Structure 1
């Protein structure tokens, strides 16, 4: 029986695995590394976060994005976005160098068993572990407006469902949403010749400013410090103090998690959208249904005036909601035992442990407990360090006093000279 089973091999899962291995835990990591970044984001997309805020986390801080880029003759500069494809490749490099072997099979069910948990793999094998860390990313939590849920996948899709937009090249697409996913998707569609419309409830689009220089006079930095979530003391608090965020009253935490860092487009995508994409702002979809060979979409504006539109396909760039009831990977009785907050997200303890002893969670589902940073790669470092300490604490608390290994002095890895061959 393993000490820890890590389910998911994205930025959070890989970071947790790196810290757990360095802590001397026996572990198994399951999942296709960086699958969401490789399969669910079209070519041509860029990271919105700064390169220095997009590192996966290993205890020594050795396997950083800037190191990966430098090894390929690229300088990761502040204010210059990194292609999503390069970030995905960085994650694979991190997995090879900072993490024990990743088992790329898929976990189809996690359930409780004597002494811990068991995971059913897609090929029928069952693995057992004393503790489990769910780091399943965002894909289980896609949010599609209720008014669109009765339409089929040929008519409506979520923005995260597309690794390639080519099939829309000669069609008309309506993108619903006003955030980065909606605006960058619309830009990519327009650039490949798709006729595209952006429809958003807000009366105007919000655009992030060009970030100030990283090195600034102290008095400017003191007024609005940089953070992995943007400039300003509020963003700095969310990014740098998630442990303190958790001490806020629960209603305050859930409100901030739902509203902070709201929909906005990156400054570098603005000129790719406004001149070429039809924008219908201040409109909300009231119904959508098949009409001939396409879709008819009925909307109402801020004044209550109805409008009827035609389109071939709707892409809902409407985000994600980390609700407990969407954790379909958990067996029904196990999921029912996970306490939930009023917003539907799992209630998470100080060490990222759920109300089920030994069941830990990471990423989006923890945002209502630890803050907006958990929606971004920025939160992976704090999560990995804190969660692994929590796993060790849980193992020590086991009946019979289970052995807790001492932290390893170094992760087994190749020398610097070997990096080129392993990358």
Structure 2
């Protein structure tokens, strides 16, 4: 069995998406002994061809301390448009992330991490091929894929019949098939459109929402003082409420827990992008106010779905269901953390997300969190690329503070128990 390296890293970043790469850029600028593991922009590269970013290009920058490697700099270098009100292809954004990684971050180790566990100096990580690594601090930035949400009646069915929208890199496998898409947000609506455009025999939407909601086209950036004061632009859309979510995640964290949970559950709910609405007219079968109550495989190898809604129960058959039903930041799904470490972390909210303190440190000293897992603590912006800018510098400030505390004999790598028993890996 391989032994961990003799000298622990100051920081190991687990994940190489927008949050992981941004945190790594700030850590590298401060000269930390750093390792970054993960496949750069993996989930973005895996999205179906033809998808576009919903966010504006100016709200989609990765973060480096000097601001030298923004999306605008990449677009200029490539000679492409990255303008307000012009949808940006997802594959171009993925290429931007790769470009950022090559310039702002030390070489990324493309291996995945199988486990993160407490260790003598902080943490021991084990890569997918079994190599152990020691780290004084860890930043967990694993993106959204581990947290994919599939409705209860569809769970446990083979992927031949049920997948999550995040599972698909291409949709041409569904050419000639009958496909049911569950959900009413951008992922559901855009997936349904692409299925129609790529030759699926029949495509329907089934959603609990009583109506589809569409974002309006963004107003011009320069639109006069009064419209700007009344509804300021933000990376989450216009309006003062969105401005608070976008600009003041730290203030959000200080709200009462019940208030944070209510806002997290309701803010920025499912809606389609304005530029998709005309194309969506090709999706002729939209069943709103309905939920799937059961799903069984028929003798002919199809799925029989029982659905219920305001007009009663119904049954439909389909070849495949794509659940475009979002992501739930439950700590139980962060399986890269060892059971002992996961079980020792304090949680917030009914969904069981980890509690995240100041500077993005969890309740286990030295374990820092970034991205979706922090949204119940820091607010809706952490569900979007936009939140990487707020997170990265503060997280690395927290790492440096924790390293200094460890050098003084602090409690790095030991849980804040507050009455909780000490645990092992």
Q: Tell me which residue corresponds to 1:362.
A: 370
Select which of 158, 162, 168 maps to 1:156: 162
1:26: how far off? 0.9
Counterpart-to-counterpart distance in 2, 1:203 and 1:13 = 37
> 1:204-244: per-residue Cα shift (whole Å, max 9, x none)?
10000011011110110000000000000000110011111
Q: In 1, Cα distance between the equivalents of 2:185 and 2:82?
A: 24
Compute the RMSD of aligned alpha carbons. 1.0
Tell me what 2:421 maps to: none
Structure 2: distance between partners of 1:36 and 1:236: 28
Partner residue in 2 for 1:405: none
Match for residue 300 of structure 1 among 277, 286, 308: 308
- Which residue in the other structure is 2:385 paired with? 377
Report what 2:244 is aligned to: 237
- Aligned twin of 1:56: 62
Q: Distance in 1 between matches of 2:85 and 2:39?
A: 30
Alpha-carbon separation, structure 2, partners of 1:54 and 1:277: 32
Secondary structure at the counterpart of residue 351 of structure 1: helix
**Residue 212 in structure 1 maps to residue 212 in structure 2:** no
Cα distance in 1, alignment partners of residues 141 and 132 from structure 2: 19
Paired residue secondary structure (1:377): coil
Q: Given that residues 363 and 380 in structure 1 are in contact (C-alpha distance below 8 angstroms), is that contact kept between their aligned partners in structure 2?
A: yes
Q: Is the 8 A contact 1:175 1:199 kept in 2?
A: yes
Alignment of 1:46 with 2:71, yes or no, is no
1:28-107 → structure 2 map (5 Å cutoff): 28-39=35-46, 41-107=47-113
Can you list the C-alpha shifts for 1:387-422, whole angstroms capped at 9, x where unaligned?
A: 0010111111115459xxxxxxxxxxxxxxxxxxxx
Contact 1:120/1:127 (8 A) holds in 2: yes
Which of 172, 177, 199 in structure 1 is aligned with 2:183? Answer: 177
8 Å CA contact 2:192–2:283 kept in 1: the answer is: no
Aligned residue for 1:6, secondary structure, equals: strand
Tell me, yes or no, if the aligned pair for 1:32 and 1:105 is still in contact at 8 Å: yes
The alpha carbon displacement at 1:293 in A equals 2.4
**Hey, what does 2:195 align to over in structure 1?**
189
* Structure-1 residue corresponding to 2:423: none
The answer (yes or no) to whether the contact 1:108–1:329 under 8 Å persists in 2 is yes
Q: What is the match of residue 342 of structure 1?
A: 349
Unmatched 5+ stretches in structure 2: 1-7, 411-425
Number of matched pairs: 400
**Please, what TM-score do these two structures have when normalized by structure 2?**
0.93
Contact between 2:204 and 2:283, CA under 8 Å: does it hold in 1?
Answer: no
**So what's the TM-score if we normalise by structure 1?**
0.93
Q: Check conservation: 1:133, 1:361, Cα contact below 8 A.
A: yes
Check conservation: 2:55, 2:236, Cα contact below 8 A: yes
Aligned to 1:333: 340
